Structure formats: structure tokens, C-alpha cells
Amino acid sequence: MGRLFWKILLTFWLTLLVAGGVTGIAVWWHHSDLQDMEKDVVIRPSSIIAVKAVANTFLYGGKEAMRNMLQEQRDDAPQDLQIYAVDPNGKELLERTVSDDTLQRVRASLGKNLKLPIVRQVQTGADSYLLFAPLAGQYPQFQQERRLPPPHRISTPTLIISGIAVSFLSSFLLAWYFSQPIGILRKAFRAAAKGDLSQRVTATIGSRRDEIADLGRDFDDMATKLQILMASQRRLLHDVSHELRSPLARLQASIGLAHQQPEKVASSLARIEHEAGRLDTLVGEVLTLSRLESGVPQPLDEYIDILELADAVIDDARFEANALSRQVVFQCDVEGNPIIQGHGELLYRALENVVRNAIHHTPENTAVTLAIHHDTAVSRLHLTVDDQGSGVPEAELGSIFEPFQRSSNASASRNGYGLGLAIARRAIESHGGTIRAFNKTDGGLRIVIQLPLLH
């Protein structure tokens, strides 16, 4: 049992003991007041009803009616139903004897707010009477208490010990209920700190529906995301190492060829320059992707005219497309100049990567289409890039935005690293947008980008 368990146990246990003690004292206090009254007054349901009956007779029938009722009680009623009526001067209505000491204690009981109406003060007009059933009076039968035999009672020490045991048991169960899942969470956190991210606690905690269960589910979500992130980092490191190995091997081969065949130094230097350029491009894309995945917020303080940005991308794309015997078509139904607040270079890289990817996957003598549409209902901008290639297998649509992922339909002659769409997705998402891929019904791949417009 941990420290939290004992803290919860002792706190609840002491609270129950204090609450029980206060309640017991209050009950004892009230009971002591009743015990004091029992020295002078009969405390029985029958006497309580008799007092109430006499009071109602006086209130609704007057003094004479009450006198007649008390006279009948004195002559005919059972011994424990005799009611006395005393005026403010201490004179009993039927001139029966009431000791001054008894009368003083009976009057004092009126200020104790006892719940049982064993004493009543009634008044109508100028007449006022104190009603009660005494234990002592003019009749000899009132010299002894007339009560029903008391029921069997449990002793006070037994009640105290039982209360302490029950309060301890309930506090123990409550402390265990709260501390047990926290112990499970602590164990899972320790395992995660040691690198074991396979721990899950939701199944162990059970079907609880409270904040602790929510914490367990949050831990499972965190562990799952960390596990995915660690796996992604390991995969990225493996893929980067694999991609660097090929150009480095070609660099080493070119250097060796230059040493062995000095007459081919020029061609070897050209190959070395080409491979160095590829390495520089790869390292640049990896660094860009790393900055986007690091979680470090990029400054989104530029106001970008999306049409100007699209024009710049189209101009550069058309230059490359013409060299590959492709075309780039631009369609726009947006009025005015839609403005997006963000990072201009990141948005340019994102859109350029998508368009260039489409150019290299569409066949010769076909066109890539970039269309821009303004959805006024949600104030978002839709950009679609369509090619006329072979598309992507449905099972791979969700993974083409992961680093170093290439479609199985991609041409073997395509010199890419599989980082363009990954950079595009992270750049778009950093601007609060989304990017998705769909296969068109008439062939080819469609990339849909949604970006929020500046209000």
C-alpha cells in the first residue's frame, strides 16, 4: 500500500469518526433533555396524544370544555392518561396539587425545543394553560412510572466498537478504490520511462467512469502516439541512411575511377558534382521535414496572396513540364485576392512539391491541372491538383504522405526521395489546413488541399 492509500484511508476514517462523534453527542444531548423531563412527565405516545387532545379541546371549545374533559379523565381515563392544566399563577384547573419544583422544570422544558410535544402551552383570549402528564400528583398511582418494558438495547461500548469497525472498513474500501488505479498508472509510467511504450492501462483499470479512468485513457493515447513517433523516427533514420548510401557509393566509385583513369577525370568530376547535388537536395529536404516534425512553431506572420503564390508555382512548374513534354493548366473561380496568414516559403514548398510530383507522374503529352475554389460557406480555400497518371493503389493512399514512401505504381526512372508529399502535408497542417489524396474515376490522382482564409 502506498502513501496515497494511507492518506486517503486516515482522512476518510477520521472524518467518519468525527462526524459520528458529533452526531452521537447531539443525540446524547437531546436524550439527556428527555431524561430530565422523564423525572416529571410521562413520555409515552398515549400521554402525548392525550396532551394534544386536551389542547385542541381548549382551543376550539374553551375553558369549560377543557374542564369537563379533564374531569372525565380524572374519573374514568386510564391512569397514564391523566393530564394537568396549570394557569400562569401555578393553579391547576381541577385544583390538583403540583409541586413548585416540578412546575419549574416543566416550564423550563418549553425552551429546550424538544421534538416530542410532551408539554404544551396553549392560550385563547385571556386564558393561558400549561398542559402535561405528570409522574407525581394528587393520585397515588402517579408516584411510580408507568412505562412499557424497554426493548433490548445494545450496549454503548458495542455500538462504539461497531461504528469504528464499519467506518474503518468503508474507508479502507474507498482508499483502495482510489489508490489502486493510481498504482497501475505509476507502474505504467515507470515502464514508459524505461523505454517500454507497449504498456496500456485502460483494460487493467476496468470499466470505471471517472477522472482516473480518463487519465488512464489519456496515458494510453500518449503511449500510442509516442510509440508511433519512436517507430517513425527509427524508420526515418533507417530510410535516410539507405538514401544516403547510394549517392555516397557512387561518389566513392567516381573518385576511384578518377584515380585509376586520369584521362576520365572530367567525366568523373561531373558525376561527383551531380551526386553532391543530390546529396545536398536530400539533406535539405530531410532538414525541412525535421523542422516541421520537431513541433517548433513556425512564424505564421506573413499575409500571402494565394493567387500570386499559385502564379509563381505555375511559372516554375511550366518550365520543368515543357522540358518533359507535359503541360500545366491553371483554373480559378475566386474573385478578388484571397489572403492567407502564414509562412510564405512553407506554403510555396508545399504547393510546388505537389505540382512537381504530379508532373513527374502524368504521362507525356498530358496536362496537370491546378484549380482553386473558394468555399464561402466555411471561408476556406480549396486547391486541387490533378494528373493523368496511373493513380495510387487504394491501400497506399493514406501512406503516400509519409516520409520515403513511394507508390508501387511510380516509374522506376523517377529520381525522388519520397519526401515531397511528406513536407507538403506537414506544411499545410501547420497552417491549419488539410491535404488528402483520391483516385479519380477517369484515371489519375487528385490531391485536395484546404486552407483557412484570413477573415
Annotated catalytic sites, by residue? 242
- Angle of the 100-109 helix axis to the 3-38 helix axis, nearest 10: 140
Q: Fill in the DSSP letter of residue 219.
A: H
State the amino acid at position 420 in one-letter form: G
CA-only gyration radius of the chain, Å: 47
Distance spanning both ends of the chain, measured CA to CA: 57
**Can you tell me the distance from the alpha carbon of 430 to that of 311, in angstroms, rounded to the nearest whole number?**
22
**Distance separating alpha carbons of residues 323 and 4, to the nearest angstrom:** 72
Asked if residue 372 lies in contact with residue 332, where contact means CB atoms within 8 angstroms, the answer is yes
Rounded-to-10 torsion of CA 411, 417, 437, 375: -130
Strands 445-452, 84-86: pairing kind: unpaired
Residue given cell 547510394 in the structure block:
246
CA distances to 114, 325, 411 from 360, in Å: 96, 11, 9
How far is 185 from 202, CA to CA, in rounded Å?
10
CB 368 within 8 A of CB 386: yes
Q: Who's near 112: CB < 8 A, 6+ residues apart?
A: 33
Helices (H) and strands (E) in the chain, counts: 10, 10
Q: Rounded to whole angstroms, how far apart are CA atoms 132 and 117?
A: 9
User: How many Å apart are CA 42 and CA 118, to the nearest integer?
Assistant: 8
- What's the 3-state SS for 64-133? HHHHHHHHHHHHHCCHHHCCEEECCCCCECCCCCCCHHHHHHHHHHHHHCCCCCCEEEEEECCEEEEEEC
